[in-house]
Homo-oligomer: A and B are copies of this chain.
Amino acid sequence: MTRYQHLASLLAERIEQGLYQSGERLPSVRMLSGEHGVSISTVQQAYHLLEERQLIQPQPRSGYFVAPRKATPPVPALTRPVQRPVEITQWESVLELLSSRGSGAVMQLGSGIPDISRSTIKPLWREMVRLGHLQDPRLLNYDSLYGVSMLREQIARLAVDSGCRFNADDVVITTGCHEALSISIRAVCQYGDIVAVESPAFHGTMQTLRGLGIRVIEIPTDSVSGISLEALELAFEQWPIKAVIVVPNCNNPLGFIMPDARKRALISLAQRFDIAIIEDDVYGELAFDYPRPVTLKSLDGDGRVLLCSSFSKTLAPGLRVGWVVPGRYFDRVLHTKYINTGSTAVQPQMAAAEFVRQGHYMPHLRRMRQQYQRNLSVMTCWVRQYFPANICVSRPQGGFLMWVELPENFDAVRLNRRLQEHGVQIAAGSLFSASGKYRNCLRINYALPLDTHSEQAIRLLGQATEQALNDGG
């Protein structure tokens, strides 16, 4: 980012946060130049940029004023999915989304990829070098079926922050949270069973259920407080449901954190109907507020929660280091782990374990939480600015994913195709439903440092959206 871009985004943030109110006069060019120790022309460039973005307006001879603020879009309302078990489709679209991985040309606003380029991750590289020098034969040999014990110890230690008390021996290491979920589902369900999920829900989980021949019932979910317990209870009463899968902390895609009272109520409900809970905590450590929110697992009295997580969102997805704390389902999880992958790659486990053990993880998390929170406020500002007015936008409480809901007739899948030639890609909402809902929604990743490039992509996205709506979807 150049100096003037930096200054501009600083000012944009202040405006966003209401430090400069709509209609208020902004500091003079001279004053800002003095305050920030930059040249007059840098300030002028920054003001021009903000003017371009329609955040400020010049008044001849009296300087710049904050432009009338567009209203903040409301949050999406409680979702209303189909209330019966359905089979999952959408694999083609998921595959399309995944296939753009690694193709550098595409601005992957649709991905679930964190920023892996910050300096706080450097010790991980150092650890990799050290492990190579050490030539510890354990790296090349079969790992224990449970996973590297030093890593399991660190995971048990970290879990204390989420209110959990378990031991290294309660943990099974997996190849990413994907494997943790896949194993957990297979430990509690069989082909043909029914599982309840949030709606919208992470497409990976949906595809896993599909691959295992399990039907889902999608439960209405509120973008602020999470899965509707009332609807869930009704579903439990009506259908022979085996398990419920939730992402209660920094939900993907809606961004909410379930309030503690509702977490407790969910546990009671599951107890009453004797249903297993698969808790996906993969974004939990990225909650903007510290200390982090508690897990369902921490409230679990009788071992019915299978806690699944990984370092994919907090550290690096390429490590493929995840874990499951399966409670009473331990034995079945262990067997399924064995038949799934035998054991987990050792080097990434060792590298991650050392990274945590040496105390690099917490500073890294802090750094990333800050970045994601700042990015969110900029992204919110851009979305308000460049998108049509009649939209709803989520208020993520952590993580790096935003959910935008457009009018009913909008088609995000078609939009994605149109954007392809511009090298921009979003995640169409329909990936997150088994019954083809949310075609009018899209999910945007704001993990990476935001620059004029990203702003241009969002502007393009907004324009394309506007145009699509004018064209009738």
Contacts and interface: CB of A to CB of B under 8 A. Distances in A.
A221 interface: no
Copies of this protein in the assembly total 2
Taking chain A's interface residues, is the majority helix, strand, or loop, or is none over half, making it mixed? helix
A145 B121 CA distance: 24
Interface string A340-379: 1111111110010000000000000000000000000000
A317 B316 CA distance: 23
Contact of A345 (B111, B211, B320): B320
Contacts of A211: 186, 335-336, 338-339
Interface residues of A, number: 71
A135 interface: yes
B341 A207 contact: no
A342 B145 contact: no
B316 A98 contact: no
Interface stretch (A32-40, A126-134, A266-274): A126-134
28 contacts: A98-B338, A101-B144, A101-B145, A102-B141, A102-B142, A102-B143, A113-B142, A127-B132, A128-B347, A129-B132, A130-B132, A139-B318, A140-B318, A142-B312, A142-B317, A175-B175, A176-B342, A177-B342, A190-B191, A207-B339, A208-B339, A318-B345, A318-B346, A320-B342, A320-B343, A321-B345, A347-B348, A348-B348
| Among all A-B residue pairs, the 6 with the closest Cβ atoms | A128-B132, A178-B342, A129-B132, A140-B316, A175-B341, A208-B339
Interface of A: 91, 94-95, 98-99, 101-102, 111, 113, 116-117, 121, 124-133, 135, 137-145, 174-179, 182, 186, 190-191, 204, 207-208, 210-213, 312, 316-321, 334-336, 338-348, 351
